[in-house]
């Protein structure tokens, strides 16, 4: 009798852990705690131009909590952006064809100065906020940028409604293509080998099935992707091609689980170690939550360090990254909100000075330049949003 009880308890525990989206995620517990801390502080009354409070702050919500209508209006706004004319000068980026491409181009342009640098988190916070603003102001979107909590479907992201290929998804996996997977990075030991997943080819379902990636690739994850004709190797020329994905449970189950997120937030208490751990250490065989978010979808342009914003997935992923940083910051609001670490060159190579709050975050034609110090609080500077 007792044995049967234990056995069925065990069985239900196993079943529960394999059913996604059940039970409370510990990273949500931390985020809620962070929100309560933030509510107790009033720093948003100082730095911001308009009065921002928890009450009037925009609420960025998790994808799975959106209604079908809300999901669809978000998707429609992205499609709308891709039908508006671009603003990027064609002499700089001859391949831009639409307003969505403007966001890809500016990320490509600055890739070497916004990753593994002091401004990594703040630059991307500002970038996705300007994108959210464009969806709202130029395409009539009434909601805010949703985020995707990887932990909900870490054991198999293809089970998430985000990728189910329905009208209310961001399209599904790519068609199967036999390829060898990926080695990150190629030269270091131990390196990380990402085995090929069930995709690799063009997506075949959902709202983005006719999506065209125009820029890139620059660092090509899949050997059969059409090469960009840019003679400088910067991927700036017109290279229209389908959206390819290879959704990887190996990656998300390996590095984007609840525990990975919670450990990152809890165990790395200064900004430099936090942002380094987040971005991964492939030489140590550790991919990092940020890289895992990229590689769990992979493909082209999503798996390309430079042109990754070309897959609409990028912005749901980076909203989650921003939320992880936001959680980390607001667990110790006063100590952490304005912490900056790192230098102004990629992994400090070549060696450079430390980044400071006075450094400029420049989005070119996509947004006015602001100082890093203005992008440190989600309820200060130009921002007024929280994560719920």
Upper half-sphere CA count for residue 145 (Cβ side, 13 Å): 30
Nearer to ligand NAG, 140 or 185 (CB): 185
186 touching ligand NAG, by CB under 6 A: yes
Nearer to ligand NAG, 43 or 238 (CB): 238
Nearer to ligand NAG, 127 or 153 (CB): 127
Which of 175, 243, 176 has the alpha carbon at shortest distance from 215? 243
Q: How far is the CB of 31 from ligand NAG (least distance, A)?
A: 27
Residues whose CB falls within 8 Å of the CB of residue 98, separated by 6 or more in sequence, listed in order:
81, 82, 83, 84, 85, 86, 214
Upper half-sphere CA count for residue 79 (Cβ side, 13 Å): 17
Q: How far is the CB of 16 from ligand NAG (least distance, A)?
A: 34
Residues whose CB falls within 8 Å of the CB of residue 86, separated by 6 or more in sequence, listed in order:
96, 97, 98, 99, 101, 102
Neighbours of 183 (CB within 10 A): 13
Q: Quick one: which of 2, 50, 137, 178 contacts ligand NAG (CB under 6 A)? A: 178
Chain residues 15-34 in contact with ligand NAG, contact rule CB under 6 A? none
Q: How far is the CB of 119 from ligand NAG (least distance, A)?
A: 14
Upper half-sphere CA count for residue 27 (Cβ side, 13 Å): 27
Token output for 363: 């989005």
The residue assigned the tokens 């997506």 is: 203
Nearer to ligand NAG, 210 or 349 (CB): 210
272 touching ligand NAG, by CB under 6 A: yes
Angle at 280 between CA 278 and CA 281, to 5 degrees: 145
Q: How far is the CB of 319 from ligand NAG (least distance, A)?
A: 24
Phi, psi of 216 (to 5 degrees): 75, -165
Nearer to ligand NAG, 4 or 189 (CB): 189
Nearer to ligand NAG, 24 or 186 (CB): 186
Q: How far is the CB of 248 from ligand NAG (least distance, A)?
A: 17
User: Strand runs (DSSP E) across the chain, as ranges?
Assistant: 58-60, 174-176, 182-184, 192-194, 200-203, 360-361, 370-371, 385-387
Kindly determine how many residues on this chain lie close enough to bind ligand NAG according to the rule CB under 6 A.
12
- Residues 237 and 140: their CA atoms lie apart, in Å, by 30
For residue 121, give the H/E element and its range: helix 120-139
- Residues 125 and 315: their CA atoms lie apart, in Å, by 10
Q: How far is the CB of 291 from ligand NAG (least distance, A)?
A: 17
Q: Quick one: which of 45, 83, 92, 281 contacts ligand NAG (CB under 6 A)? A: 92
Nearer to ligand NAG, 211 or 326 (CB): 211
Q: How far is the CB of 86 from ligand NAG (least distance, A)?
A: 14
Chain residues 339-368 in contact with ligand NAG, contact rule CB under 6 A? 341, 354, 364
Q: How far is the CB of 377 from ligand NAG (least distance, A)?
A: 21
Chain residues 200-259 in contact with ligand NAG, contact rule CB under 6 A? 207, 209-210, 234
Q: How far is the CB of 1 from ligand NAG (least distance, A)?
A: 49
Angle at 29 between CA 263 and CA 74, to 5 degrees: 100
Nearer to ligand NAG, 210 or 259 (CB): 210
Nearer to ligand NAG, 198 or 364 (CB): 364
Binding residues (CB under 6 A) for ligand NAG: these are 92, 109, 178, 186, 207, 209-210, 234, 272, 341, 354, 364
């Amino acid at each position: 009798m007792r044995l049967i009880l234990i056995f069925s308890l065990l069985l239900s525990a196993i079943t529960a852990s394999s059913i996604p989206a059940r039970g409370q995620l510990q990273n949500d517990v931390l985020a809620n705690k962070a929100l309560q801390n933030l509510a107790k502080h009033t720093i948003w009354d100082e730095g911001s131009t308009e009065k921002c409070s928890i009450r009037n702050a925009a609420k960025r919500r998790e994808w799975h909590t959106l209604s079908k209508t809300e999901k669809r209006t978000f998707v429609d706004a992205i499609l709308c952006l891709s039908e508006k004319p671009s603003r990027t000068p064609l002499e700089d980026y001859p391949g831009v064809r639409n307003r969505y491409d403007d966001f890809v181009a500016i990320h490509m342009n600055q890739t070497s100065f916004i990753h593994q640098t002091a401004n990594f988190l703040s630059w991307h916070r500002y970038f996705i906020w300007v994108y959210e603003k464009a969806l709202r102001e130029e395409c009539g979107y009434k909601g805010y940028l949703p985020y995707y909590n990887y932990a909900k479907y870490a054991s198999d992201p293809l089970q998430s409604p985000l990728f189910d290929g329905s009208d209310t998804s961001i399209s599904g996996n790519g068609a199967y293509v036999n390829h060898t997977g990926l080695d990150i990075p190629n030269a270091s030991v131990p390196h990380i080998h990402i085995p090929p997943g069930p995709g690799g080819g063009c997506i075949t379902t959902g709202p983005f099935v006719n999506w065209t990636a125009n820029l890139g690739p620059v660092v090509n994850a899949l050997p059969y992707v059409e090469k960009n004709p840019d003679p400088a190797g910067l991927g700036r020329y017109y290279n229209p091609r389908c959206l390819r994905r290879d959704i990887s449970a190996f990656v998300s189950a390996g590095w984007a689980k609840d525990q990975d997120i919670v450990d990152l937030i809890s165990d790395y208490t200064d900004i430099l170690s936090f942002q380094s751990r987040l971005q991964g250490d492939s030489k140590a065989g550790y991919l990092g939550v940020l890289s895992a978010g990229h590689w769990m979808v992979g493909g082209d342009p999503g798996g390309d360090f430079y042109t990754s914003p070309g897959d609409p997935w990028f912005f749901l992923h980076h909203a989650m990254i921003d939320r992880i940083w936001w959680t980390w910051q607001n667990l110790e609001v006063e100590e952490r909100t304005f912490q900056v670490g790192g230098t102004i060159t990629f992994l400090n190579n070549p060696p450079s000075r430390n980044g400071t709050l006075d450094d400029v975050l420049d989005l070119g034609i996509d947004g006015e330049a602001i100082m890093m110090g203005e992008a440190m609080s989600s309820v200060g500077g130009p921002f007024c949003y929280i994560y719920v």
